[in-house]
């Protein structure tokens, strides 16, 4: 049975845009898994550890027959194969692949928490997630559009992700608090 999952992709080392593209190619090659939607790419200031280069982030929707833990294992292998080294929490990384949501399931295992524990705090995943599925709600019924409005209201403007216009190499302003996504 196919399950819908949402994966956050992030990179702030090397050719960031190419790293995101390579990660998508690896994910597309996973057996019994299909990428069904892809968000725009957003440039984001670092979260947690701020003395590093900006990130490029995006979210993809997939359909997969893997369990959440099997999917995590595959994603961690992709990170390793792409050269990810886990040296410090929230430090620079060539690629970061996080399971945000997995169907309507919740997972509470030592190695995996779904929904992602920081999903409702991070604009760099909320904005692209709502771009590809504006009606999404958490398994507990929490409306992510409402979460986005609250998080934007308490965030300074420089921390709001900018959508990249990859055809022109410029930025497109993202909607501010209270505006429609």
Residue 135: exposure state from Cβ atoms within 10 A (0-12, 13-18, ≥19): exposed
Element containing residue 57 per DSSP (H, E): strand 55-64
65 pLDDT more than 70: yes
Count how many Cα atoms sit within 13 Å of the Cα of residue 46 in the half-sphere of its side chain.
15
Q: Is residue 181 part of a domain?
A: no
Q: How confident is the model at residue 92 (pLDDT cuts 50, 70, 90)?
A: confident
Q: Is residue 155 part of a domain?
A: yes
Q: Is residue 52 part of a domain?
A: yes
What pLDDT does 157 receive?
81
* 14 close to 94: Cβ distance less than 8 angstroms: yes
102 pLDDT more than 70: yes
96 pLDDT more than 70: yes
Q: How confident is the model at residue 77 (pLDDT cuts 50, 70, 90)?
A: very high
Tokens 């921390």 belong to 159
- Find the CATH number of the domain harbouring 74: 3.30.70.560
What pLDDT does 1 receive?
77
Residue range of the domain that includes 146: 3-172
- Per DSSP, what are the bridge partners of residue 172? 163
93 belongs to the catalytic site: yes
Q: Is residue 179 part of a domain?
A: no
98 belongs to the catalytic site: yes
Query: How far is 112 from 109, CA to CA, in rounded Å?
Result: 5
126 three-class SS: helix
List 51, 86, 96, 165, catalytic entry? 96
Q: Is residue 49 part of a domain?
A: yes
Q: Is residue 178 part of a domain?
A: no
Q: How many domains does one find in the chain?
A: 1
Tokens linked to 44: 């984001």
37 belongs to the catalytic site: no
Q: Is residue 32 part of a domain?
A: yes
Helical axes 144-153 vs 123-132, angle rounded to 10°: 140
158 three-class SS: helix
The pTM assigned to this predicted structure is 0.88
Q: Is residue 132 part of a domain?
A: yes
List 32, 53, 93, 108, catalytic entry? 93
List 84, 140, 150, 173, catalytic entry? 84
């Amino acid at each position: 049975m196919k399950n819908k999952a949402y994966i956050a992709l992030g990179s702030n080392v090397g050719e960031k845009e190419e790293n995101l593209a390579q990660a998508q190619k690896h994910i597309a090659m996973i057996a019994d898994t299909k990428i069904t939607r892809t968000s725009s790419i957003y440039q984001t200031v670092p979260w947690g550890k701020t003395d590093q280069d900006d990130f490029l982030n995006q979210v993809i929707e997939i359909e997969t027959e893997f369990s959440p833990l099997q999917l995590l294992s595959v994603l961690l292998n992709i990170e390793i194969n792409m050269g990810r080294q886990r040296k410090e929490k929230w430090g620079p990384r060539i690629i970061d692949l996080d399971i945000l949501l997995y169907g309507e399931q919740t997972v509470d295992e030592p190695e995996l928490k779904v929904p992602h524990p920081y999903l409702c705090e991070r604009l760099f995943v909320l904005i692209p997630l709502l771009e590809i599925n504006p009606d999404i709600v958490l398994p507990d019924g929490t409306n992510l559009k409402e979460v986005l409005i609250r998080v934007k209201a308490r965030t300074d403007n420089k921390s709001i992700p900018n959508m990249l216009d990859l055809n022109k190499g410029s930025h497109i302003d993202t909607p501010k608090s209270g505006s429609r996504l």
